[in-house]
Amino acid sequence: MNQWISGVNGYYYPYLIYHVSHERNVFPQLGIPSDEKVVAHALPKGEICLQVLERELSGGKAFLLGPQLTLADFYMLPIIHAFGFAPDAQAMYPKFLSICTWRERMEALPTLKRFRAAQPPRGAIEHARKWVASHRPKYSTTTRPRRRGDRMRRKVPTNPFETCA
C-alpha cells in the first residue's frame, strides 16, 4: 500500500494533475492559456503511469492490492478522476480498460456516491491564478531534457567546508 501511495505522490499527481490537468483544465477555466511545453513534457510520463496501473489491475484484481479495498485505492481515485476532465485523458482512457473498470467499481461504492452527490458544481479555482507565477512548471525550448547517462554538472568546492557557509 505504501508503494502505491508513494507512486501517487511521486509520479501520478505530478504528471497527471500538476502538469496536465492544471494546464488543460484549471488555467483555461481562468482564461489563462495552457503552456504546451509543460503538457508535452508530462504526457509521455503520464501514459507510463497509466500503463503501470493498467498492468497491475489487469490481472483480475478488483482493487490495487487485490480483492480488498485499501487506502491506496482512495489515494489513486482523485488523480484518475480529475485527470479524466482533460481532453488528453479522454483520448487515452479507452486504451486502459482495467483502469476504467476499476474506476467504475470505485464510483459505485455507496460512500463515493454520497460524496459525489454532496460536492458543489465544478467551477474555476480562483486561487489558482497565483499558481501561474508561484509554482507553474517551466520548461525551456532551448535546452533538451536530461537523459539517462547525463552527468550532473556542479561546482566541486575546493574547500570542503565552502558548502556549509
The DSSP letter of residue 159 is: S
* Helix residue ranges, H only, the chain: 2-7, 27-29, 36-57, 71-83, 87-92, 97-107, 110-118, 129-134
Q: How far apart are CA 128 and CA 134, in angstroms?
A: 10
Q: Which residues pair with 66 in a beta bridge?
A: 63
pLDDT tens across the length of the chain (165 residues):
889 999 899 999 999 999 999 999 999 999 999 999 999 999 999 999 999 999 999 988 899 999 999 999 999 999 999 999 999 999 999 999 999 999 999 999 999 999 999 999 989 999 988 988 888 888 765 555 566 665 544 444 444 334 344
- The gap from C-alpha 124 to its chain's centroid, in whole angstroms, comes to 19
The architecture (CATH level 2) of 2-119 comes to Up-down Bundle (1.20)
Q: Please report the pLDDT score of residue 55 as a whole number.
A: 95
